[in-house]
Each structure stands twice: as structure tokens, then as C-alpha cells.
Amino acid sequence: MNGKEAERWASEFLKRQGLKPVAMNYRCRLGEIDLVMQDGETLVFVEVRQRSNAGFGGAASSIDRHKQHRIILAARHYLSGLRRMPPCRFDVVLMDDERGLNAEWIRNAFDAGSPL
């Protein structure tokens, strides 16, 4: 499965968990957010990572501090366009296979206050 298919799969997976889609592939000059979802009152910024093999550490290891920083900057940009600041969190959906069979959803995977 390619990146776009992985993002669609993750969106459907999260919808089945009760989250509501808000935006997909939000981009600005600062970075990109794969999925923006609503979980009750909380706005959730989701990074989707899919790796077909774990030879280089798997999907989780690909979300390094630099990548987290870019996601946080893009989230701040997204939030700047809202009238009120909702509670927010950063989640990650990891897939270390081609079909999403070994998918893992990590809530609060990192936060905007994480040391860079």
C-alpha cells in the first residue's frame, strides 16, 4: 500500500474508533499533517507511517524529532485559522506491513512541548 492508501486506511480505522474526519493532507510552508480528526472536543493531528519492513527501525523510528517539529509547526499554522483554541493532541498510526494488519494507534504520541 502506498502513502495515500495508508492514510485512507488510517482514516477509516480511526472513524471506526469514533473519531470524525476534519481534514486530510493539510499542507503549509511549515509542514504537513496527514489527518486532522475530532475526538469529542479534542482536535487530533495524526501522523500516518507505513513501512513494509523494519530494516531501518520500522514505522515508529521514522517519526524523529525533526518530523515531530514539522508536524507541530503545521498544527500551529492550522490552529491559527480557528476562532477558538480547542484541546489538541498528536497521535500516530503505525503500520509495519502492507495491509495494515499490524497497525498500532498511539494516542498522545508526542506533544507541542516536547524538547526538540
pLDDT at 1: 75
Give the chain's domain count.
1
Q: Is the pLDDT of residue 14 over 90?
A: yes
Whether residue 23 contacts residue 15, with contact meaning beta carbons closer than 8 Å, is answered with no
115 in a domain, yes or no? no
Residue 74's H or E segment, with its range, is helix 65-80
Domain of residue 10, residue span: 3-110
Q: Which three cell numbers stand for residue 99?
A: 495491509
Model pLDDT, residue 46: 97
Q: Do the domain assignments include residue 25?
A: yes
**Residue tagged 470524525 (cell numbers):** 20
For residue 84, give Cα distances in angstroms to 4, 14, 51, 81: 30, 24, 36, 9
pLDDT of residue 115 exceeding 50, the answer is no
**Is the residue at 116 inside a domain?**
no
For residue 52, what pLDDT is reported? 60
pLDDT digits (tens, 9 = 90+) for 16-75: 999 999 999 999 999 999 999 999 999 999 999 886 655 544 455 567 888 899 999 999
Q: CATH no. for residue 35?
A: 3.40.1350.10
Specify if 105 maps to a domain.
Answer: yes
Query: What is the structure's pLDDT at 56?
Result: 47
